[in-house]
Amino acid sequence: MRDRIIEIIGTHGKNQGALIPVLKAVQRMNPRQYIPQEASQLVARIMGLRESEVYEVVSFYGEFSETPRAEHVIKICDSTVCRVNHHRELVDILEHTLGIRVGEASRDGKFFLEYSPCFGACDVAPALRIDDKVYGNLDRDKLEAILEAYRR
């Protein structure tokens, strides 16, 4: 882990302004998409920051997770537009198909389900994101096909 982090910081620089890009890369390199405590301590040490400064950032931003998630993170928009477009049905399908509740990882470690604030896909609501990719105008068939593609 140490070598990977040194490499990441080598790419982005040690300036505090590089902290968010560095943390994003550190999270991405982790197969369960989170920032373990040891990783943020290493980032602090190598960048010459206080651990408290790194932790402030990790704990503040929605994208960072202190706890393990999964190979793919499914983010369901929970904001107004998706609500009026019946996002609840999406949640039900996902929870049922994956056998987990929002805030949990599927047993195979493949998917983690979480709510997200609006990600600007209101024109195709109800929508969700899997990692960085956005899927809109969803219904049961589409959703199941998408999940299947990720399972493969």
Q: Rule CB under 8 A: which residues touch another protein?
A: 15-21, 23-24, 37, 40, 49-57, 59-64, 66, 78-81, 83-85, 116-125, 129, 132-134
CB of 149 to another protein, least distance (A): 17
Beta strands in the chain (DSSP E): 72-77, 111-116, 128-130, 133-135
Q: Smaller CB distance to another protein: residue 65 or 106?
A: 65
Q: Smaller CB distance to another protein: residue 78 or 97?
A: 78
Instruction: Determine the longest span between alpha carbons in the chain, in angstroms.
Output: 50
Give me the residues paired with residue 130 across strands.
74, 133
Q: Smaller CB distance to another protein: residue 58 or 94?
A: 58
CB of 152 to another protein, least distance (A): 21
CA proximity to 42, closest of 7, 71, 67: 7
Could you give the strand order of the β-sheet that contains 133-135, starting from the edge strand earlier in sequence? 111-116, 72-77, 128-130, 133-135
CB of 151 to another protein, least distance (A): 21
